[in-house]
Amino acid sequence: MTDSTHVPALSRTERTILELLAQDEAFGLELVERSKGALKRGTVYVTLARMQEKGYVESRTEPLPAGAIGLPRRVYRPTAYGVRVLDAWAMAARALRGVRPQEA
Protein backbone atom coordinates (compact mmCIF):
# COMPACT_ATOMS: atom_id res chain seq x y z
CA MET A 1 0.00 0.00 0.00
CA THR A 2 1.33 3.44 -0.93
CA ASP A 3 1.15 6.37 1.48
CA SER A 4 -0.36 9.27 -0.46
CA THR A 5 1.20 11.77 1.97
CA HIS A 6 4.74 10.56 1.24
CA VAL A 7 6.94 13.30 -0.20
CA PRO A 8 9.52 11.83 -2.62
CA ALA A 9 13.16 12.32 -1.72
CA LEU A 10 15.08 14.82 -3.82
CA SER A 11 18.80 15.32 -3.27
CA ARG A 12 20.50 18.62 -4.00
CA THR A 13 22.09 17.09 -7.13
CA GLU A 14 18.74 15.75 -8.33
CA ARG A 15 17.12 19.14 -7.72
CA THR A 16 19.88 20.88 -9.71
CA ILE A 17 19.43 18.45 -12.60
CA LEU A 18 15.64 18.88 -12.63
CA GLU A 19 16.00 22.68 -12.54
CA LEU A 20 18.36 22.58 -15.53
CA LEU A 21 16.21 20.11 -17.47
CA ALA A 22 13.11 22.22 -16.82
CA GLN A 23 14.78 24.87 -19.01
CA ASP A 24 15.65 22.50 -21.87
CA GLU A 25 16.46 18.83 -22.44
CA ALA A 26 20.18 18.03 -22.34
CA PHE A 27 22.77 15.28 -22.30
CA GLY A 28 24.87 14.60 -19.19
CA LEU A 29 28.02 16.57 -19.97
CA GLU A 30 25.91 19.50 -21.13
CA LEU A 31 24.26 19.51 -17.69
CA VAL A 32 27.71 19.58 -16.07
CA GLU A 33 28.67 22.62 -18.17
CA ARG A 34 25.38 24.44 -17.57
CA SER A 35 25.57 23.84 -13.81
CA LYS A 36 28.68 26.05 -13.47
CA GLY A 37 30.40 23.63 -11.11
CA ALA A 38 27.38 22.37 -9.17
CA LEU A 39 27.42 19.02 -10.99
CA LYS A 40 30.47 16.82 -11.39
CA ARG A 41 31.34 14.78 -14.45
CA GLY A 42 31.86 11.60 -12.42
CA THR A 43 28.43 11.58 -10.79
CA VAL A 44 26.02 13.09 -13.30
CA TYR A 45 25.32 9.88 -15.21
CA VAL A 46 24.94 7.80 -12.03
CA THR A 47 22.47 10.38 -10.72
CA LEU A 48 20.58 10.52 -14.02
CA ALA A 49 20.24 6.71 -14.00
CA ARG A 50 18.90 6.81 -10.43
CA MET A 51 16.49 9.61 -11.37
CA GLN A 52 15.25 7.59 -14.34
CA GLU A 53 14.55 4.63 -12.01
CA LYS A 54 12.58 6.96 -9.71
CA GLY A 55 10.57 8.28 -12.65
CA TYR A 56 11.91 11.86 -12.43
CA VAL A 57 13.51 11.91 -15.90
CA GLU A 58 13.25 10.05 -19.17
CA SER A 59 15.78 9.75 -21.96
CA ARG A 60 16.17 9.03 -25.62
CA THR A 61 19.20 8.21 -27.71
CA GLU A 62 20.16 10.85 -30.24
CA PRO A 63 20.87 9.37 -33.68
CA LEU A 64 24.48 9.54 -34.83
CA PRO A 65 25.09 11.92 -37.73
CA ALA A 66 26.21 10.28 -40.97
CA GLY A 67 29.89 9.34 -40.80
CA ALA A 68 30.12 9.88 -37.04
CA ILE A 69 31.88 7.34 -34.84
CA GLY A 70 31.42 6.51 -31.19
CA LEU A 71 28.37 6.08 -29.06
CA PRO A 72 25.24 8.16 -29.61
CA ARG A 73 24.40 10.68 -26.89
CA ARG A 74 21.56 10.08 -24.48
CA VAL A 75 19.36 13.16 -24.07
CA TYR A 76 17.37 13.62 -20.85
CA ARG A 77 14.22 15.56 -20.01
CA PRO A 78 12.04 15.72 -16.91
CA THR A 79 8.87 13.65 -16.70
CA ALA A 80 5.60 15.25 -15.59
CA TYR A 81 6.15 13.52 -12.25
CA GLY A 82 9.68 14.95 -11.98
CA VAL A 83 8.35 18.47 -12.61
CA ARG A 84 5.69 17.97 -9.91
CA VAL A 85 8.31 16.76 -7.42
CA LEU A 86 10.50 19.79 -8.21
CA ASP A 87 7.52 22.14 -7.84
CA ALA A 88 6.61 20.58 -4.48
CA TRP A 89 10.14 21.02 -3.17
CA ALA A 90 10.26 24.63 -4.42
CA MET A 91 6.93 25.34 -2.68
CA ALA A 92 8.21 23.80 0.55
CA ALA A 93 11.42 25.85 0.36
CA ARG A 94 9.40 29.07 -0.09
CA ALA A 95 7.10 28.16 2.81
CA LEU A 96 10.05 27.50 5.11
CA ARG A 97 12.17 30.48 4.07
CA GLY A 98 13.22 32.37 7.19
CA VAL A 99 11.77 29.80 9.60
CA ARG A 100 14.23 28.58 12.22
CA PRO A 101 13.82 25.62 14.57
CA GLN A 102 13.09 26.72 18.12
CA GLU A 103 15.93 26.34 20.55
CA ALA A 104 15.35 23.94 23.45
> How crowded is residue 83: how many other Cβ atoms within 10 Å of its Cβ?
15
Higher pLDDT, 1 or 58: 58
The pTM assigned to this predicted structure is 0.82
CATH class, 12-63+71-94 region: mainly alpha
Express each pLDDT in 70-93 by its tens digit: 888 899 999 999 999 999 988 887
Closest CA to 93 of 3, 19, 22: 19
Q: Using N-to-C axis directions, what is the helix angle for 41-54 and 12-23, rounded to 10°?
A: 80
Distance CA 87, CA 40 (A): 24
Sheet holding 26-27, edge to edge: 26-27, 74-78, 57-61
